[in-house]
Structure 1
C-alpha cells in the first residue's frame, strides 16, 4: 500500500502541499491528476524520500521509503525519464540496476522484452533514444525487481498511441497481479482510461477523490476537474 497522511510541504513559507491525504491499495491503479504546478511532483518526491515533509507522513508498504530494507527491489519508481546517463546503452542501464539489486542478468533480457525494446535498441546509447524509448527504458528499470508498489510520474509523455495502449495494458496486468500503482499525470484522458481511483489535486490540496463515476456524478469528468481547479485557483489568489 501507498499512503499519504496529512502531508504538507512548504518552501520559504509557501505551501507546495497542504495536508494531502489519500491511499493506493494493492491490486489497483490510482491516477494522481492535476495541472502543472499543482504539487504532484513534490508529493512524489516526499513519498520517495527525496525531500522531507514539513508535516504529516508518506509511506510505502507501511514504512517510510528510506526505512525500507530493499527500496529498489520492492518499490519501482519513474520520476524522470531523462535521468539515465546518455552515454550508456539501454542494456547497460538495466544491467547496472540488476547488479545493484542482486538480480541475474537474464532479468535484463526479460525486462527489455517486457517494455518492447529490441535487442538492437538495447545496444544503442540512451542519448540516441526518442522520448518514448526513454520512457520505456525508465518503466523497465522500475520493474526490474518485480515491485509490490509502482510510482510513475507522467509515464505517457513521449509515447505514441501504440505505446500508450501498451502502457495501459502493462499497468492493468501489474495491478491485477497485486501491485499498488500510483500514476501521476496532467492528462485527464489518460488517467480516465486506466485508473480505478482518481485523486484530483490543485494548488497543493486534494480537491476530490473517488472513481470516475463518483467524481463525474452525471456530468463529464473534464468539467468536474476544470471546475475544481478553477475554484482552487481563485481561493489561492
Structure 2
C-alpha cells in the first residue's frame, strides 16, 4: 500500500502540498493527475524518500521509505528516465542495480526481455537512446527487485503507440499480481484505460479522489480534469 496522510510540504513559505491524503491499495493502479506545478512530483519525491514532508506522514507498505528494510524489493520508482549515466550501456545500468540488490545476472536478461530492449540495444550507451528507450530502461530498473509497490512519474513519456499499449498491459498485469501502482501522466486517455482510481490535485490540494465512474458523471476524464483544475491552476514556484 502507498499512502499519504495529511502531508504538507513548504518551500520558502510556499505550500507545494497542503494537507494531502490518499491511498493506493495493493492490486490497483491509481492515476495521479494535476496541472504543472500542482504538487505531483513533490508528493512522489516524498514517497520515494527524496524529500521530507513539513508535516504529515508518507508511507509505502506501512513505513516511510527510509525505514524500509529492503527498499529495492519493496518499491520501484521511476521519477526521471534521464537520470542514468549517459556513458553506461543499458545492460550495465541494470547489472549494477541487480548487484546492489543481490540479484543474479539472469534477472537482467529477464528484465530486458520484459521491457522489450534487445541485446543489441542493451549494449549501446544510453546517450544514444531515444526517450522511449530510456523510459523502458527506467521501468526495467524499477522492476528489478519484483517490488510490491511502484511509483512512476510520466512513464509513457516518449513511448510510441505500441509502447503505450505495452505499458498498459504491463501495469494491469502487475496490479493483477497484487502490486500497488501510483501512476502520474499527462496522457489522460491512457490513464483512463489503465487506472482503477484517480487522484487529482491542484495548487497542492486534493481536488478529487475516486473511481472513474464516481468522478466522471458521464464526462470523459479530460473533461472532468479540466473542470476541476481550471480554477486552481497556478504557475510553478
What is the TM-score when the length of structure 2 is the normalising length? 0.97
Partners of 2:109 and 2:229 in 1: CA distance? 43
SS at match of 1:232: coil
Partners of 2:9 and 2:201 in 1: CA distance? 14
Aligned to 2:73: 73
Partners of 1:220 and 1:197 in 2: CA distance? 14
Partners of 2:29 and 2:221 in 1: CA distance? 17
Aligned to 1:100: 100
1:172-211 equivalence runs, <5 A: 172-211=172-211
1:33·1:191 contact (CA, 8 Å) conserved in 2? no
Q: CA deviation at 1:209?
A: 1.0
Q: CA deviation at 1:169?
A: 0.2
1:33·1:187 contact (CA, 8 Å) conserved in 2? no
Q: CA deviation at 1:231?
A: 2.3
Deviant stretches of 4+, over 4 Å:
none
Q: CA deviation at 1:95?
A: 0.2
Structure 2 gap segments, 5+ residues each: none
Q: CA deviation at 1:77?
A: 0.4
1:36·1:186 contact (CA, 8 Å) conserved in 2? no
Aligned to 1:113: 113
Q: CA deviation at 1:221?
A: 2.4
**CA RMSD after TM alignment:** 1.0
Partners of 2:120 and 2:174 in 1: CA distance? 26
Partners of 1:233 and 1:73 in 2: CA distance? 37
What is the TM-score when the length of structure 1 is the normalising length? 0.97
Q: CA deviation at 1:40?
A: 0.4
Q: CA deviation at 1:187?
A: 2.4
Partners of 2:122 and 2:220 in 1: CA distance? 42
Partners of 1:85 and 1:27 in 2: CA distance? 33
Partners of 2:233 and 2:152 in 1: CA distance? 26
* Superimposed CA distance per residue, residues 124-143 of structure 1 (whole angstroms, 9 cap, x where no aligned partner): 01110000000000000000
Aligned to 2:50: 50
Aligned to 1:134: 134
Aligned residues: 234
SS at match of 1:193: helix
Structure 1 gap segments, 5+ residues each: none
* Superimposed CA distance per residue, residues 6-60 of structure 1 (whole angstroms, 9 cap, x where no aligned partner): 1010101100001110000000000001111111000001111111111101000
Q: CA deviation at 1:220?
A: 2.7
Partners of 1:193 and 1:35 in 2: CA distance? 20
Partners of 2:218 and 2:58 in 1: CA distance? 33
Aligned to 2:159: 159
The reply to whether residue 20 of structure 1 matches residue 20 of structure 2 is yes
Partners of 2:147 and 2:233 in 1: CA distance? 37
1:84-99 equivalence runs, <5 A: 84-99=84-99
Q: CA deviation at 1:226?
A: 0.8
SS at match of 1:231: coil
Partners of 1:190 and 1:127 in 2: CA distance? 28
Q: CA deviation at 1:189?
A: 1.4
